[in-house]
Amino acid sequence: MAARRAVSAVHARRIASCDEWPRASGIQRQDPHCLGKSPVIKDGDVVVQEIPTNESRYLCETCDGEARLLPRETKARAKVREFMAAAEATFMLHALAILYARWRLPERAADCLPEMEKGLSSNVHNDFAWLEHELAASSDNFLVGGHLTAADIIMGFSIEFIFARKLGTERDGRWPRIQHWLDRIRDEPSYKKAVERTGYKL
């Protein structure tokens, strides 16, 4: 349930940030749909469900007239989408395997959990090593284009969640570029405003 509440909160944060755009005034956040994983957004007769990157892409494409969060230029747009997809289909996928093991492993097998987590953590370590490499290639400490984009927003939540739950990341200081990048995102005025408005926390 904690994971579901966190996902719900981050969606609220995205909506709160988005409503600074004039186009966003009619978009509403609604309760989770039947699977109960995350909220949906309703824009007139359009209902966008379930997948956070799907909802975020819709908000970018319909509200961000300047295309700052999801660039129009082909190479930059593809790179932003790569990070958005990796945030959920790679980083969260590997991290949640550890979380679900903690939640669901039978009590009689509890002694096996440390070894299981150690094995599952290797995927998280590989993911973080890739992101460290990507950040090393960036001179401005944003993932794409020298400014905040949807790549930073979506990936930022996944990394924040993984650090908060210590899902393969128990050794502090192992990924200094990632930590510095995450701190920079948290220092963005728009992030602080959205957190204040929604009460978002992990």
Question: For residue 186, is it within any domain?
Answer: yes
| Phi and psi, residue 39, nearest 5° | -70, 165
**Residue 153 belongs to domain spanning:** 74-198
pLDDT in tens, 42-95: 777 777 765 567 777 777 888 777 888 889 999 999 999 999 999 999 999 999
Binned at pLDDT 50, 70 and 90, residue 195 comes out as confident
Is it the case that residue 36 has pLDDT exceeding 60?
no
Residues 171, 174, 177: CA angle, nearest 5 degrees: 140
Question: For residue 181, is it within any domain?
Answer: yes
Interacting residues of 38 by C-beta distance below 8 A, sequence separation 6+ = 4, 7, 8, 11, 32, 50, 52, 55
pLDDT of residue 141: 81
Can you tell me which residue has the tokens 């987590």? 117
Binned at pLDDT 50, 70 and 90, residue 2 comes out as very low
Question: For residue 53, is it within any domain?
Answer: no
* Overall domain count for the chain: 1
pLDDT in tens, 138-191: 877 899 988 889 899 899 999 999 999 999 998 767 899 999 999 998 998 888
Is it the case that residue 16 has pLDDT exceeding 60?
no
Helix (H) or strand (E) holding 119: helix 113-136
- Segment 16-45 shows an average pLDDT of 56
Question: For residue 45, is it within any domain?
Answer: no
List, in sequence order, the alpha helices (H) in 19-112.
Answer: 52-63, 74-86, 93-104
User: What CATH number has the domain bearing residue 100?
Assistant: 1.20.1050.10
Helix (H) or strand (E) holding 40: strand 39-43
Question: For residue 25, is it within any domain?
Answer: no
Question: For residue 93, is it within any domain?
Answer: yes
Question: For residue 151, is it within any domain?
Answer: yes
CB 71 within 8 A of CB 77: yes
Does the predicted TM-score (pTM) go above 0.85?
A: no
Nearest C-alpha neighbor of 100 from the set 120, 84, 82, 124: 120
- Segment 5-29 shows an average pLDDT of 47
DSSP label of 50: S
Question: For residue 128, is it within any domain?
Answer: yes
